[in-house]
Chains A and B, each alone.
Chain A
Amino acid sequence: MSPQASPNSFLEFWQDFLRQSSSFWSQAATAPQPPDPSQAWQQFVTMWTEFWTKAFTLSPDTIQTSQKLWMEQLETISQGFTKVMGTDIFATMQGKFFEQQLRWQDYLTKTMQPQTDAALRALNLPSRNQMDRLFERIVNIEERLDDLETDTRIIRRALRHGNDAAPVADPPPSRARNRKAPKEEEAES
């Protein structure tokens, strides 16, 4: 993708676009005009018909060609947007705009918080913070349950191997998790 460009590249991109468009239209305007105005239109229609006839006769399937042209046009527009959005100035503008939005949101939330909390208390409903704390505790409890299940499985495995096995207090280590990399252990010893 496009590397980060100078801050002026966004404006330069649009200036270049306007310059090219102006050049095209001025060339079209300075093309030799016949004295009779109706002939000017005829000249234009002839040019247009010749162009599209040429385009469609390149492929036996006219409709498929136009479908391809449409998809290519969409792709070109996307690439144009990507070129603009890939500039450093766009990233800066986006970041700053986003930051402003977040700060404004934060300010509004803090301003409205006391009234919101009071209303929820009056309705005997939990607040957002209370719900978040509850969900976090549930997640923590589930994680601790998983830790307990894992330890229980290790202990059961050790017991199943019988008295010859390693003591229950020293269950076999996880095969998937090394304590340290071998080089680090060597370095330490």
Chain B
Amino acid sequence: MADPMTQAAAFTQAIQNELQKNLARWSNWMSDFVVSPAEPPMAQTPRDLVWKRGKIQLYRYPAQAAQRQPLPYFMVPWLGISRPYILDMLPGHSMIEYLVQQGHEVYLLDWGVIAEEDKNLSLEDIVFKILPRAIDTILDLSQAPALNLNGFCLGGVITNSYLGLHPDAPVRNYIAIVTPVDFAHGGLLKTWLGHEAFPTDLLVRQYGGIPTYLMGMGFKMLRPTGDAATLSGLWFNLDTKDYIPIFKAMDRWANDFVGMPGRFFSQIQHELYAQNKMLKGELVLQGRRVDLRNIQQPMFVATASKDHIVPPLAAKGLMDAVGSQDKKFMELPGGHISVFSGRQAHKILWPALHEWVVERSAV
């Protein structure tokens, strides 16, 4: 143990440093939250709308590198819950921006702001109509023979169903990021939604789906101290000017919930969370069985070690369920969102993904 005089000096210095930091914190708080509380502009990567179906919009992000990748990169995010602009959060912190700078032509399917009028949107509509139309549009525009398909979270459930039903789909490579497959390991969501007491049918009848406020409440309950931790982190880092725009962007997105269509939610709850039908090979859509062994494409699966929404075991089940021979699995540090949009993502996931896709995209 150091002698008391050294300890006292170190302690005094630490207190002095902290006082200086507190001054910087108050200064930044006043300037960035009181005087100029505006949020930073998000989703700034240039894009154009190439297809629309009601609220559903398909955006194209043109490649920005001199050397273009041969196959388009199609992102299918989660349906409902929140908006997908987290994938293009801020300049310098955007997965889409990174990919277009590496030469990929990226397409993003934006489901829009789900409300009660979308209550009849089902997994069948998406898998048999919407996704194929979007893919046809992409292939027409890009003049490519196939594309790289990337599903995120429930978007991965959609893409798993699509590939499980369409073995000849024009998909060269398949990427599933934090995608639940084995719902038996679904964590708290499995405990709540998989329980027979959960009144799904009554909820869907009353609201047409999951309303926005309920969605927000449910996700906040998954991490009861989440808001306290977020505000604590803000205070601890408020002396760093660079931290503030990222915090504002993440905070805005993290509280920007949308609802979920009733039929889709009903299918997710009854057939996946309650009965785990997809992994068992019992999920039937329009009379056809979803067989994950039809997924033969090279596959990249990424999970997050501290994911409380889709625990790693829930996502890892896909590795053994598919028929692909060329498979890669990565469990990355971080949570459900930070794995593909946090500060570590640009160092770990994005380069790994880019290299993996490029190796397998020769035309």
Indicate if the CB atoms of A176 and B191 lie closer than 8 Å. Answer: no
Q: How far is the CA of A65 from the CA of B247 in the complex (A)?
A: 23
A11 sits at the interface (CB 8 A): no
Q: Kindly list chain B residues whose C-beta atoms are within 8 Å of the C-beta of A103.
A: 202
A95 sits at the interface (CB 8 A): yes
Q: Kindly list chain A residues whose C-beta atoms are within 8 Å of the C-beta of B228.
A: 74
Number of A-B contacts (CB under 8 A): 150
A residues 67-110 near B (Cβ < 8 Å) are: 67, 70-71, 74-75, 77-78, 81-82, 85-88, 90-92, 94-96, 98-99, 102-103, 105-106
Indicate if the CB atoms of B225 and A77 lie closer than 8 Å. Answer: yes
Q: How far is the CA of A95 from the CA of B199 in the complex (A)?
A: 6
B229 sits at the interface (CB 8 A): yes
A12 sits at the interface (CB 8 A): no
The smallest beta-carbon distance between A128 and chain B, in angstroms, is 9
Indicate if the CB atoms of B167 and A181 lie closer than 8 Å. Answer: yes
The smallest beta-carbon distance between A137 and chain B, in angstroms, is 9
Indicate if the CB atoms of A176 and B54 lie closer than 8 Å. Answer: no
- Grouping DSSP codes into helix (H, G, I), strand (E, B) and loop, the B interface class, with mixed when no group exceeds half, is helix
Indicate if the CB atoms of B2 and A82 lie closer than 8 Å. Answer: no
The smallest beta-carbon distance between B147 and chain A, in angstroms, is 9
Also in contact, A175 and B199, with CB within 8 A (given A74-B228, A91-B191): no
B residues 231-277 near A (Cβ < 8 Å) are: 232-233, 236
Q: Kindly list chain B residues whose C-beta atoms are within 8 Å of the C-beta of A98.
A: 198-199, 203
Indicate if the CB atoms of B136 and A67 lie closer than 8 Å. Answer: no
Indicate if the CB atoms of B199 and A181 lie closer than 8 Å. Answer: no
| B214 nearest in chain A by CB position | A98
Indicate if the CB atoms of B53 and A143 lie closer than 8 Å. Answer: yes
Indicate if the CB atoms of A146 and B221 lie closer than 8 Å. Answer: no
Also in contact, A1 and B169, with CB within 8 A (given A91-B195, A98-B198): no
B11 sits at the interface (CB 8 A): yes
A-binding segment of B31-39, B78-86, B126-134: B126-134
B67 sits at the interface (CB 8 A): no
- Grouping DSSP codes into helix (H, G, I), strand (E, B) and loop, the A interface class, with mixed when no group exceeds half, is helix
B282 sits at the interface (CB 8 A): no
Indicate if the CB atoms of A57 and B7 lie closer than 8 Å. Answer: yes
| A150 nearest in chain B by CB position | B133
Indicate if the CB atoms of B117 and A139 lie closer than 8 Å. Answer: yes
Q: How far is the CA of A139 from the CA of B221 in the complex (A)?
A: 33
Indicate if the CB atoms of B195 and A176 lie closer than 8 Å. Answer: no
| A135 nearest in chain B by CB position | B117
Indicate if the CB atoms of A176 and B131 lie closer than 8 Å. Answer: yes
Give B1-23 as 1s and 0s: 1 = Cβ < 8 Å from A's Cβ atoms.
11000010011001101100000
Q: Which of B165, B202, B221 has the largest number of chain A CB atoms within 10 A?
A: B202
Give B180-224 as 1s and 0s: 1 = Cβ < 8 Å from A's Cβ atoms.
000001011011100111110011001010000000000001011
Show 6 A/B contacts (Cβ-Cβ < 8 Å), sorted by A: A57-B7, A87-B191, A95-B196, A99-B202, A174-B132, A176-B131
Residues of B within 8 A of A (CB): 1-2, 7, 10-11, 14-15, 17-18, 52-55, 115-118, 120, 128, 131-136, 139-140, 165-170, 185, 187-188, 190-192, 195-199, 202-203, 206, 208, 221, 223-226, 228-229, 232-233, 236, 288, 291, 294, 308, 311
Known: A95-B199, A176-B132. 17 other contacts (CB 8 A): A1-B311, A74-B228, A74-B229, A82-B188, A85-B191, A85-B192, A90-B191, A94-B192, A106-B202, A138-B117, A146-B133, A150-B136, A175-B139, A176-B139, A178-B168, A181-B167, A181-B168
- 10 closest cross-chain pairs (CB), A and B: A95-B197, A135-B117, A176-B132, A176-B135, A177-B132, A1-B187, A99-B199, A91-B195, A142-B54, A146-B53
